[in-house]
Amino acid sequence: MPARPDHGPPTRIADLDTPRLLLDRERLERNALAMRERCARLGVRLRPHLKTAKSLDVARIAAGGERLGVTVSTLREAEHFARAGARDILYATAIAPNKLARAAALQQETGCDLLLVTDSIETVRRAGAFASGAGVELSFLIEVDCGEHRSGLPPADPAVVEVARAIHAAPALRLRGIMTHAGHSYGTDDSGSVTLLAAAERDAAVSAADAVRAAGLPCETVSVGSTPTVLLADHLTGVTEVRAGVYMFWDLAQLSRGMCRQDEIAVSVLASVIGHNRAGRSLVLDAGALALSKDLGANRYLPDAGFGYVCDPVTLERLGSLSVGAVHQEHGTVTLDDEAWFSRLPVGSLVRVLPNHACLTCAAYDAYDVVRGDAVVDRWARVNGW
Amino acid sequence: MPARPDHGPPTRIADLDTPRLLLDRERLERNALAMRERCARLGVRLRPHLKTAKSLDVARIAAGGERLGVTVSTLREAEHFARAGARDILYATAIAPNKLARAAALQQETGCDLLLVTDSIETVRRAGAFASGAGVELSFLIEVDCGEHRSGLPPADPAVVEVARAIHAAPALRLRGIMTHAGHSYGTDDSGSVTLLAAAERDAAVSAADAVRAAGLPCETVSVGSTPTVLLADHLTGVTEVRAGVYMFWDLAQLSRGMCRQDEIAVSVLASVIGHNRAGRSLVLDAGALALSKDLGANRYLPDAGFGYVCDPVTLERLGSLSVGAVHQEHGTVTLDDEAWFSRLPVGSLVRVLPNHACLTCAAYDAYDVVRGDAVVDRWARVNGW
């Protein structure tokens, strides 16, 4: 069976229009396997975070044939995965009260076990009233802050136990556990610091869970995670599951922090050279701010990352030291260190750009063109939006 | 007929899930009318750029009942508007050779007059060969650089006439004119400087057109534009049409340059307060990097813009001096100058965020929820991607 029946026999990369989002299947499979092995060594369950991939096909590869629970960042992702058969879903963004009815409807429609998150007594009050009135049951994890200072209660704050009591006391709510996220582990390129952050993440979640249990309340789930802390934790005793997502694809931000090798990065943007700006000694690509995103997170530790490394369209090796240095909405500018690039990359040439931040870049596309070497073997849909 | 028949009677803003992209219809209509009147005073044809709006309904309002030509930034937009009846389309990004067949197919399917752009003799060569082989005719404008230094040939470069000759000599290509874009007009908040840039933009296009005509070649179209230069040009003698787009919606970047008033900004993101971070004295919103974009372009001249102004959900008046100060993928952080905001904005409250850069923010959404005051009166699709 041809992989892309609407296009006849399998396509080559050179047959694709641009810009396109390419996903290297072999790299993805290796990345997914490595994380499953890492979690097996840690003795902890992996609940892959699908906010980067937003794809059922990628979720299946992340699971490696097992029936894993998944993590999502939006209710639209939850709906997508639940309708495809996912039975155990953690929606890891604190739920807005206006989304309670939609979450309950998804549970009822699909029978999935949907774990919600909050750090707010007000959300618990509204969820309790809503669920009682609607005759449904909603499950909650309490979010604690392990140092990122984005969201979540401080783990030693008496409010953790107060929120836990309020959930447990509401007849239509179920207290399921504690979650935290060491997103600040992206803020360093020092592996020893990440190991310390992983310990702090673990201790925040475990100590909050201990406090909840000491109050006589249930706390079956203790959920932590970010790709760096899962990779570099010394141990995860007391943790029941980890969440990680960007490891499936990697990106220049993770490369810049020493979390991956360049030849592990599985996503890239296929672009065309659409102009030679000889006066400015630059190439113009048809991949700009929308195709690449305006995220510059890699540049803190990789000052030549720009908006992405410019690579060979087939080997994915970087072309010299070329980067996308500036973007407009549909234009990317690649400043050249050598005019010889004008003859090496004539107008019409294809390049692949390794993204700064996979989560942001992928969000501009409704599908991946899946490649094995030079062959385009599949096309996988993404579920964007909310 | 109810405006949103799938939802029964017209909705109120408070009935919407979050995050959503709201479009104020009255502001849009006023902005569109003001630009039509401005172009009438200049005596120049308006060819609205739909790269910001990417919407058929917005295009109709921009046209104000007339049959206007349109400008687009992607072939997907061109396909969308041509299939809906647009007959005169300028695809204003230099075309990649791998898109020639798709452009030709669209012309043949719809009969639209599709103007393509290039500054490359190589593209002309490939387009000529392709069009002859395919038995189609392709029309080109030559792009010149009026000082932005992104793309286009210097207007006095002999290459302008060489490219013009090459187009004119190719039996299946038609030379239609010259275009340029003063995108660097976004780089200043000084109106006198913008007027000078508008003069340079006009002079670049008109002088290049004069050179083409002096060589005995046709040059019917002389196309310039950016919203600031169209607004502040002293005259546009010799120019046949202007392109502008962001004026339909405005944004904080344009406010920061003095191009619009805050009460003219027509797009905003509806978001919910999903947490109170009391230790960090901040609100957490469910609108983060994906819902708002990571564009920070307004901050150069409006240092408190952050990732957007936080406003009342109905009046769209800013709430004190609140801004979104930090974003994660699905979280926006609003640092508070006064703890009283915790009681004014309890968890579950709605706010509207005025975007930094409308083109980037809107791109995350597949539709606008169109509002008149507090009523949600319509839902208009957007055409994203490529």
Question: What's the average model confidence in pLDDT over B204-223?
Answer: 98
**pLDDT level of residue A183 (50, 70, 90 thresholds):** very high
- At position B13, the amino acid (one-letter code) is I
* Mean pLDDT, chain B, whole residue set: 96
Is the omega angle on the peptide bond into residue B19 within 30 degrees of 0, that is, cis? Answer: yes
3-state helix, strand, coil in chain A (%, to 5): 40, 25, 40
Which phi and psi (to 5°) does residue A275 adopt? -165, 155
pLDDT score of B65: 85
Dmax (CA) of chain A: 73
- At position B32, the amino acid (one-letter code) is A
> What residues does A142 pair with on adjacent strands?
A118, A178
Q: Kindly state whether B226 is in contact with chain A, defined as any CB-CB distance less than 8 angstroms.
A: no
Position B276 pLDDT exceeds 70: yes
Spatial distance between the Cα atoms of B54 and B134, rounded to a whole number of angstroms? 30
pTM, whole model, 2 decimals?
Answer: 0.96
Torsional class of A238: left (φ above 0), alpha (ψ -120 to 50), beta (otherwise):
left
Question: What's the average model confidence in pLDDT over B145-174?
Answer: 97
Question: What's the average model confidence in pLDDT over B195-204?
Answer: 97
pLDDT score of A66: 84
The interface pTM score, or ipTM, of the predicted complex is 0.96
Architecture of the domain defined by A25-248: Alpha-Beta Barrel (3.20)
Which phi and psi (to 5°) does residue B105 adopt? -60, -40
CB A316 within 8 A of CB A13: no
* Mean pLDDT, chain A, whole residue set: 96
Enclosing H/E stretch for B328: none
**Over the stretch A78-121, which tens digit does the pLDDT of each residue have?**
999 999 999 999 999 999 999 999 999 999 999 999 999 999 99
pLDDT score of A10: 62
Chain A partners within 8 Å of B290 (Cβ): 359-360, 363
Looking at chain A, list the stretches that DSSP marks H as alpha helix, in order from N- to C-terminal side.
25-42, 56-63, 75-83, 100-110, 121-134, 158-169, 191-214, 227-232, 252-256, 289-292, 340-344, 358-362
Spatial distance between the Cα atoms of B136 and A348, rounded to a whole number of angstroms? 20
Provide the pairing of β-strand B221-224 with B173-179. parallel
Which phi and psi (to 5°) does residue B241 adopt? -160, 155
Contact B150 A95 (CB under 8 A): no
Nearest CA distance, A149 vs chain B (angstrom)? 7
Q: Kindly state whether B343 is in contact with chain A, defined as any CB-CB distance less than 8 angstroms.
A: no
**Over the stretch A235-276, which tens digit does the pLDDT of each residue have?**
999 999 999 999 999 999 999 999 999 999 999 999 999 999
Position A378 pLDDT exceeds 90: yes
Q: Which residue has the tokens 């774990």?
A: A115
Q: Which CATH class is domain B26-249?
A: alpha beta
Nearest CA distance, B243 vs chain A (angstrom)? 15
Looking at B11-99, list the stretches that DSSP marks H as alpha helix, in order from N- to C-terminal side.
25-42, 56-63, 75-83
DSSP state of A338: S
Sign of CA dihedral B191, B193, B199, B203: negative
- Residue A147 CA, chain-centre distance (Å), reads 20
**Over the stretch B85-95, which tens digit does the pLDDT of each residue have?**
999 999 999 99
| Segments making up each domain of chain B, as ranges | 26-249, 262-381
Contact A289 B360 (CB under 8 A): yes
Spatial distance between the Cα atoms of B90 and B141, rounded to a whole number of angstroms? 9
Chain B partners within 8 Å of A145 (Cβ): 277, 279
Nearest CA distance, A293 vs chain B (angstrom)? 8
Position B7 pLDDT exceeds 60: no
Q: What percentage of chain B carries pLDDT values higher than 70?
A: 97
Dmax (CA) of chain B: 73
pLDDT score of A68: 79
Question: What's the average model confidence in pLDDT over B237-245?
Answer: 98
Position A4 pLDDT exceeds 50: no
pLDDT score of A184: 93
**Over the stretch A117-143, which tens digit does the pLDDT of each residue have?**
999 999 999 999 999 999 999 999 999
Nearest CA distance, A9 vs chain B (angstrom)? 19
Position B368 pLDDT exceeds 60: yes
Q: Which chain B residue has the Cα nearest residue A357? A: B329
Q: Which CATH class is domain B262-381?
A: mainly beta
Spatial distance between the Cα atoms of A124 and A97, rounded to a whole number of angstroms? 9
Going by C-alpha positions, the residue among B332, B318, B178, B150 that lies closest to residue B243 is B178
Position B4 pLDDT exceeds 90: no
Contact A331 B359 (CB under 8 A): no
Q: Kindly state whether B105 is in contact with chain A, defined as any CB-CB distance less than 8 angstroms.
A: no
**Over the stretch A36-84, which tens digit does the pLDDT of each residue have?**
999 999 999 999 999 999 999 999 999 998 887 999 999 999 999 999 9
Contact B331 A93 (CB under 8 A): yes
CB-CB neighbours of A156 under 10 Å: 12
CB-CB neighbours of B54 under 10 Å: 28
Question: What's the average model confidence in pLDDT over A359-381?
Answer: 97
Q: What is the CA radius of gyration of chain B?
A: 22
pLDDT higher at B334 or B68: B334
Domains A25-248 and A262-381 share a fold: no
Q: Kindly state whether B120 is in contact with chain A, defined as any CB-CB distance less than 8 angstroms.
A: yes
**pLDDT level of residue A5 (50, 70, 90 thresholds):** very low
Provide the pairing of β-strand A138-143 with A282-285. unpaired
**C-alpha dihedral (A278, A280, A286, A287), degrees to nearest 10:** 150
CB B72 within 8 A of CB B91: yes
What does the block give as tokens for B280? 């960090």
pLDDT score of A2: 35
pLDDT score of A9: 55
- Burial classification of residue A194, based on how many CB atoms lie within 10 Å of its CB (0-12 exposed, 13-18 middle, 19 or more buried): buried
Chain B partners within 8 Å of A99 (Cβ): 17-18, 272
Q: Which residues 301-320 of B have a C-beta within 8 angstroms of A?
A: none
Going by C-alpha positions, the residue among A38, A173, A185 that lies closest to residue A114 is A173
Position B369 pLDDT exceeds 60: yes
Chain A partners within 8 Å of B326 (Cβ): 150
CB B367 within 8 A of CB B267: no
Contact A329 B359 (CB under 8 A): yes
Chain B partners within 8 Å of A307 (Cβ): none
Question: What's the average model confidence in pLDDT over A335-362?
Answer: 97
pLDDT score of B246: 97
Which phi and psi (to 5°) does residue B259 adopt? -85, -20
**pLDDT level of residue A3 (50, 70, 90 thresholds):** very low
Question: What's the average model confidence in pLDDT over B279-287?
Answer: 97
